[in-house]
Structure 1
Amino acid sequence: MWVKLSRYISFITISLFITAGLLPIKGYAVDTAEKMDAVLVVDVSNSMNKSDKKKVSNEAMKMFVDMLSVSGDKVGLVAYTDQINREKALLEINSEEDKTDFKEYIDSLTRGSYTDIAIGVNEAVKILDAGKAKGHSPLIILLADGINELNPDSGRTQKQSDKDMQTAVNKAKAEGYPIYTIGLNADGKTNQSVLKNLSKETSGIYFTTNSADDLPSILSEIFAKHLKLKVVPVTKLTANGKYQDVVIDIPNENVMEANISITTNKPITAKLFDPDGKEVNIPSSNVYYSSSNAYTLIKLIKPAFGKWKIQVKGINKDKIDVNMIYNYDLGLLLEEPANKNYGKNDTVGIKAFLETGGKKLQSPVMYKEMKAKLLVTDLTLKKVVEYPLDTDGKKFFSNWKIPDQHKYELKVLAEDNSFSRETNSIVIDASRKTSSVLAEEPKEGKGVKWLGTGIGLLAAACFIFYILSLVKKANRGFIGQMVIEVRDENTGEKTSPQYRKLNAFKGKVRLHQLLQLAPEFIETESIILVPGKNDTLILYNKGEAVIERSGRAVDAAQGLVLKKNDRLKIMLHKVNKSISLDYII
């Protein structure tokens, strides 16, 4: 009887320590492959007849469409001159027929006189505003070959065009729409500064080329960069009129899709063989195939691990370039260090895990093929230092020694030759004796903290059911997502909605963590979310920020219950900004 009672009391004691915050509660940050909402914007003025005689831009856009996921991505199109020539709203890709229809639409584009880039960019922003999907990653891809050439009969001036362009750029920047620009500089007249600024202001990337033949590879690069993937060169061949072997290495079982792009000047034929040497039909249930005069794309869906083989036959002496883009169903998790008071020269244990489907990945090969590093930002000195991480085939790990009595932001980056993943950040505060991860607890935790010292444990018997409910609550997982928008109250500008998955955390999460620990939002450290009953959240406000619901200030010091689709506005005290929170499931 006494043994059972001792075990029970030990369980209660440990539970109380957890509830009081004296033992670690793990939290994770995740970075996984995304779905995208892409708008292709193409100059179809008559000047393109010189810079893109063969309409390679059409072929490049079609290859981009083929590289989209077999299900879930969305794509739209704007073809412009000095007005909108053709446009197509965002279409969700859910079948091969969807891609075929979209590519046929690209083939139907015609060309016309004059050019006004602002017209095309502005329309692309409108298309994203109207059709972007929650949780998707938006982008705009602009293909242009020269400077504006306005219609003199229209009365429109360059000043008006520049003003409209800036309005579109400001909107794209505010909503988080990166604009990737491609300057087709065949005649040397491309206004590169305009295209560069478009990308720079919206966190996109600028590309330039003197030949339209480079467009398929540039579109591939944009596709990969936007999804944190890498274009993996496979081989370059000179066709001899016979089948030539190309080995395709599927490095592990976590490859969700393998896009094999074969760019040529003339059509090719291909055969496909799985790792067992068995020929696989092209196309088939798990093999998507598309071809044109400029490219061939073979998409392997959830391919088996091992070395596949493609036999390629091209026209004699034709140049063949084979590249690969892997898309992984993988995330990277950073385990929060144990709760303790950190100071100078203390050692922090760093552990990061690969995950798939919400579970830690069991793949020693995958760990050993990747290189991981800890990125430490000294928030006091505004300096970033990198530290390599080791692996034991189950995790990435290291012991990091705190070099000074400063505040630090930590995150982990892992990559191999085909993709990269990065965690969100956590903060270690060594500038004061109490760590930021212990700065504040929900009131329920504070109410029992005195029990953590062992005082009055025997008296806990009468509170068993109460304590067990607290333990269950402290370890309860989150569900759903929090949609976050930040508004500048001075200018009225809003950021694009940011979707933060809550199931990456356990027990509690500070709003500051969901805001990427940005220094300007430090006061949100005092706003804490914990899981509630029946798929609810409870928000605790321990600081000076004002919480509003339906336009009225509410007191959240004792806890405010959030249900599905509830919306709050948080007015910050130290900066003139507000934060809108939407709880969705």
Structure 2
Amino acid sequence: MTLLGRVLVPLLAVLVLLVPAAVPSAYAAGSGSAASAGASSQIDAVLVLDVSNSMKKSDPGGIADEAMKMFIDMLSTKGDKVGVVAYTDKVQREKALLTINSASDKQDLKNFIDGLDKGPYTDIAVGVDEAVKVLQNGSDPSHEPMIVLLADGNNDFNESTGRTESQSSQELDAAVQTAKKNGYPIYTIGLNADGKLNKNSLSALSTETGGKAFVTDSADDLPQILSEIFADHLKLKVVPVQSITANGAYQEVTVNVPNASVLEANISIISSQPVTAKLTDPSGKEVAIPSNNVLLSKSSTYSLLKLLSPQEGDWKLQVKGVPKDKIDINLIFNYDLDLQLEAIPSKTYKKGDTIPVSAHLFSNGTQVTEQELYGQMKAVLLATDLDTGKTEELPLDNSGGEFKGNFEVKDNHNYQVKVRAEESSFYRESNAVEVKAGGSGTPAPSASQAPLEQAGTGGGLSWTKIVLIAAAILILAVAAAVWMFLKKANKGFVGQLVVEVLDANTGEKTYPQYKKLNGFRGKFNLHQLLQLAPELKESEKLVFTPGAGDRLVLRGSDIAVEKSGRAADASRGLELKSGDRISVPLRSVDKTILLEYLV
């Protein structure tokens, strides 16, 4: 018997023989705690900057520093905490987590970044390890921790120190495991200006810790990437307002504030030349920049307007720039909104039962009843069958100041349910609740069994002995079934998938990302492989399982798959061998996922 079997059988024996009275409650629903799984409105961020000499060539304009400063400006006016680690092959300079309570605190952080010096050599492990320690020493348990790592190349060690790649890898692995254990997602930005960046290494850091990986050839993309990271961490969406080519005169764009629940609206104006701006509120009144409710941050590459508790409606922004200068305008709202799923009654469920579900938005701990806000959002119940792994998406009604619907128990299985609600500028997911419908409990003895119990007072087998023997047989059967299920569920993968994303509107294709599969067990979906990018959520309908002979099997319904230029039927399982390529066009966005399986 395997180690799992040797441990599992006596454990099951203890559970069955000692806790029979607890069986009914074991099939009850989850606790249904109202604790929110939504993002906190406060961040504890450590910005990790590569300040090796190579950055002078990769980023001659210093845009990386400007992008990090813009990230700081996008944070809330009060409450967030930020630390900075500048590294080469050692920690060049460090700033512990600083609580932002005023504009001067943000300026202090930005001045610190401006004062960083460059140095020789590079060792990414040093920067990551120090960032983890900064969070361990100063992170607030009620905040959302994160690490943002910028690197422009591979490790470059100082030979005089004797440092080896193996030593660096061990230190990095230990730091990553600590980050993973403590819930510190690492967002990586690879600046691949010289084409020598180890993209796979950076991507692995993000995948392992639940962050996201970004790669770019140009430092010009860094402000946009930092905006995406800020939004992703707080379950927000970057809303592109408009890109304009300056003509030397004021040009007007409309900025829509969708509802009254917006705490802050960050309008980023990114350009290579200075710009000036004017602002008019929805009532038509011109608003001074800056003023009590409109904060202004400026640098050589961006201007950031932060509207505090902005009035709902259409704001008019007028921007004047240097002729022929390209100006990109984006909007990121900040909400103090959590989504909470109402508790599901604790009871025994069975196939065919219908369970009413209801979820509400909460702001600053108070339930939001504004029907218009609910009406602007699309909400679905995500019901995952824990026995099969299949997730069903059920639309919810949003018309009555709540999200409500019904969940029908389709089989005597265990389920996990949660609610996802989204609109154009943000999304939220509720706490998950487990619904157990594993059966109706232990059946009562039949009439034919009664004489056996009575006969137990004499010779032969007593009823007690028969029960114990039957229990032992049941334990062995359950242990064997569980072992076989776990063995199948934990079957590993081999090889890797090469992933590219093609934008149908622009024709642009992302750089290939090589996703090693040996970290997955049993199954995974394409959305997980794409690091759970919200706009690519449709891809979760495609599920991968390991096949025989180092092959990969994919299954999916209601999602298109093409192989060799032809539509392929993935509903019954499509097998991929090494070298096979498929494409997955997503209907929800004009993008196609290109995949190549390599062993």
Fold-level similarity (TM above 0.5): yes
CA displacement at 1:340 relative to structure 2: 4.9
CA displacement at 1:366 relative to structure 2: 1.0
The amino acid that maps onto 1:73 is D
- Does 1:427 pair with 2:439? no
Pairing of 1:533-548 with structure 2 (within 5 A): none
CA displacement at 1:26 relative to structure 2: 8.3
- Given that 2:263 and 2:309 are in contact with CA atoms closer than 8 Å, whether structure 1 keeps it comes out as yes
Distance across 2 between alignment mates of 1:288 and 1:181: 29
1:476-533, Cα deviation, whole Å (9 max, x unpaired): xxxxxxxxxxxxxxxxxxxxxxxxxxxxxxxxxxxxxxxxxxxxxxxxxxxxxxxxxx
Pairing of 1:469-484 with structure 2 (within 5 A): none
Distance across 2 between alignment mates of 1:337 and 1:148: 52
Distance across 1 between alignment mates of 2:391 and 2:32: 25
Aligned to 1:245: 252
1:5-47, Cα deviation, whole Å (9 max, x unpaired): xxxxxxxxxxxxxxxxx9xx98534235431111111111111
Q: Following superposition, which runs of at least 4 residues in structure 1 exceed 3 angstroms of deviation?
A: 337-341
| 3-state SS of paired residue (2:161) | coil
Aligned to 2:77: 70
| 3-state SS of paired residue (1:229) | coil
Q: What is the percent sequence identity of the aligned residues?
A: 55
Q: Quick one: which of 288, 296, 300 aligns to 1:293?
A: 300
CA displacement at 1:359 relative to structure 2: 2.9
1:410-435, Cα deviation, whole Å (9 max, x unpaired): 1111011111111111222222337x
Aligned to 1:307: 314
Distance across 2 between alignment mates of 1:257 and 1:33: 15
How many correspondences in the alignment?
Answer: 413
The amino acid that maps onto 2:161 is S
The amino acid that maps onto 2:411 is D
The amino acid that maps onto 1:222 is I
The amino acid that maps onto 2:308 is I
Distance across 1 between alignment mates of 2:136 and 2:361: 34
Distance across 1 between alignment mates of 2:353 and 2:100: 51
Distance across 2 between alignment mates of 1:357 and 1:173: 28
Aligned to 1:446: none
Aligned to 1:6: none
CA displacement at 1:255 relative to structure 2: 0.2
- Given that 1:365 and 1:393 are in contact with CA atoms closer than 8 Å, whether structure 2 keeps it comes out as no
CA displacement at 1:400 relative to structure 2: 2.1
Q: In structure 2, do the counterparts of structure 1 residues 177 and 341 end up closer, same or farther at CA, with 3 Å as the change threshold?
A: closer
- Does 1:330 pair with 2:340? no
Aligned to 2:523: none
- Does 1:93 pair with 2:110? no
CA displacement at 1:393 relative to structure 2: 3.2
CA displacement at 1:339 relative to structure 2: 5.1
CA displacement at 1:134 relative to structure 2: 2.1
- Given that 1:32 and 1:332 are in contact with CA atoms closer than 8 Å, whether structure 2 keeps it comes out as no
- The runs of 5 or more residues in structure 2 that have no matched partner are 1-27, 442-599
- The runs of 5 or more residues in structure 1 that have no matched partner are 1-21, 435-585
The amino acid that maps onto 1:306 is G
CA displacement at 1:342 relative to structure 2: 2.4
Pairing of 1:258-269 with structure 2 (within 5 A): 258-269=265-276
Q: Quick one: which of 171, 174, 185 aligns to 2:181?
A: 174
CA displacement at 1:358 relative to structure 2: 2.8
- Given that 2:252 and 2:318 are in contact with CA atoms closer than 8 Å, whether structure 1 keeps it comes out as yes
Q: In structure 2, do the counterparts of structure 1 residues 262 and 37 end up closer, same or farther at CA, with 3 Å as the change threshold?
A: same
Aligned to 2:327: 320
Q: In structure 2, do the counterparts of structure 1 residues 33 and 327 end up closer, same or farther at CA, with 3 Å as the change threshold?
A: farther
The amino acid that maps onto 1:379 is L
- Given that 1:363 and 1:393 are in contact with CA atoms closer than 8 Å, whether structure 2 keeps it comes out as no
Distance across 2 between alignment mates of 1:247 and 1:228: 24
CA displacement at 1:260 relative to structure 2: 0.7
CA displacement at 1:320 relative to structure 2: 0.7
Aligned to 2:387: 380
**Aligned Cα root-mean-square deviation (Å):** 1.9
- Does 1:344 pair with 2:351? yes
Distance across 2 between alignment mates of 1:219 and 1:341: 47
Distance across 1 between alignment mates of 2:173 and 2:115: 30
CA displacement at 1:327 relative to structure 2: 0.9
Q: Quick one: which of 110, 118, 128 aligns to 2:125?
A: 118
- Does 1:28 pair with 2:34? yes
- Given that 2:40 and 2:142 are in contact with CA atoms closer than 8 Å, whether structure 1 keeps it comes out as no
- More off after superposition, 329-338 vs 238-247: 329-338
Aligned to 1:161: 168
Distance across 1 between alignment mates of 2:122 and 2:130: 14
Aligned to 1:189: 196
Aligned to 1:42: 49
The amino acid that maps onto 2:140 is A
| 3-state SS of paired residue (1:390) | coil
The amino acid that maps onto 1:415 is E
1:205-241, Cα deviation, whole Å (9 max, x unpaired): 1100000000000001001101111111111111110
1:236-256, Cα deviation, whole Å (9 max, x unpaired): 111110111111111111001
Q: Quick one: which of 274, 281, 287 aligns to 1:274?
A: 281
- More off after superposition, 415-424 vs 157-166: 157-166
- Given that 1:370 and 1:414 are in contact with CA atoms closer than 8 Å, whether structure 2 keeps it comes out as yes
- Given that 2:297 and 2:304 are in contact with CA atoms closer than 8 Å, whether structure 1 keeps it comes out as yes
Aligned to 1:413: 420
Distance across 2 between alignment mates of 1:42 and 1:140: 11
| 3-state SS of paired residue (1:380) | coil
The amino acid that maps onto 1:235 is Q
- Given that 2:369 and 2:402 are in contact with CA atoms closer than 8 Å, whether structure 1 keeps it comes out as no
- Does 1:81 pair with 2:84? no
CA displacement at 1:338 relative to structure 2: 4.3
The amino acid that maps onto 1:195 is L
- Given that 2:377 and 2:398 are in contact with CA atoms closer than 8 Å, whether structure 1 keeps it comes out as no
Aligned to 2:139: 132
- Given that 1:259 and 1:324 are in contact with CA atoms closer than 8 Å, whether structure 2 keeps it comes out as yes
Distance across 1 between alignment mates of 2:133 and 2:40: 25
